[in-house]
Amino acid sequence: MGAMATQRWTEADIVAQTGRTFVVTGANSGLGLHSTKALTGAGARVIMACRNTEKAEAAREELPADSRKLAEVHELDLGDLRSVDSFVSGIEDRGVDVLINNAGVMDIPLGRTAQGFEEQFGVNVLGHFALTSQLEHKITDRVVWLGSLMHQLGWINLDDLNYERRSYNSWLAYGQSKLACVMLAYEQQRRFVREGSTLRAVVAHPGYSATNLQSHSSNAVVRQIMKLGNSLPLLAQPPHRGALPELYAATVPDLPGGWYIGPDGPGEVQGFPRPVASNKRSYDVGVAEKLWDACAELVERR
């Protein structure tokens, strides 16, 4: 199925993935677990890159028998760049075809990663940036970054990416982190083109998907509202549908680099995957270049 033929694309449209290897971060639950199930169901080998290996092994055991044989758990804590180093060193040289930067945290109280980064920016952005940079020479096909509808709230504050001087707002911090993921995907694609690389960087967002991500909100009222939202089928779609945009972005053979994939329904809240547009700020090439350099400096400074 071609990249433009997006009408009601489902898991059944995933072309055979036999012989291909995927790394899926946060693969023990939610969108990552459903992506793992779909990819192994199509014949792919999936490296489940997870912070809690006990939970990941339990999730792997729940997969169908044939899928279970194709999935393997590796420890990866995106909140600790030393863990990223260890994970990459444990990936054998036979390579990775696709990296799906699926894991994330959302609307959490102010916290710091092992290297002192604001936790949402540190996990959602810098952990994945370091992982992508270190794995790039082993990747043969593409990198999929995860955006969010909440990138609309985001502004990139290059002078204070880690909330060291400004007052902390959990939603604005999340919005910044997701806008950063979108912009880094676009910037990575531009760099691939300049380098003459055949690799691709694409980005996807799930719309509103009922996962456990919402249960970690720092605000009790927000947690209750989201719990209610997750139970409303007219608002929230189940995880297997929420995973479709990242699966589309990861597997459609002729998908151009630099595309953004999201649900086709009103407001991109739910639906079937198709190319969509991110906000105007995400296309600022100058800010994206500076963001890339800032991320590289932060990761190297550790």
* 141: CB partners within 8 A, 6+ apart: 20, 97, 98, 199, 200
- From 163, 168, 174, 208, active-site residue: 174
- One-letter identity of residue 197: S
Give the pair of three-digit tokens for residue 294: 């800032």
Q: Which residue has the tokens 């600022």?
A: 284
CB 299 within 8 A of CB 113: no
Query: 45-50 and 21-25: which strand pairing?
Result: parallel
The terminus-to-terminus CA distance of the chain in angstroms comes to: 44
CA–CA separation, 302 vs 51, rounded Å? Answer: 20
> Is 260 known to be catalytic?
no
**29 with 57: CB under 8 angstroms?**
no
Residue among 76, 86, 91 nearest 21 (CA): 91
**d(C-alpha 75, C-alpha 47), whole Å:** 10
Residue 36 tokens read as 């793992």
Given its phi and psi angles, is residue 196 left (phi above 0), alpha (psi -120 to 50 degrees) or beta? left
Contacts of 66 (CB under 8 A, 6+ apart): 40, 41
Indicate the helix (H) or strand (E) that contains 201.
strand 200-204
The CB density around residue 136, as the number of other CB atoms within 10 Å, is 15
Q: Which sequence positions are flagged as catalytic?
A: 174
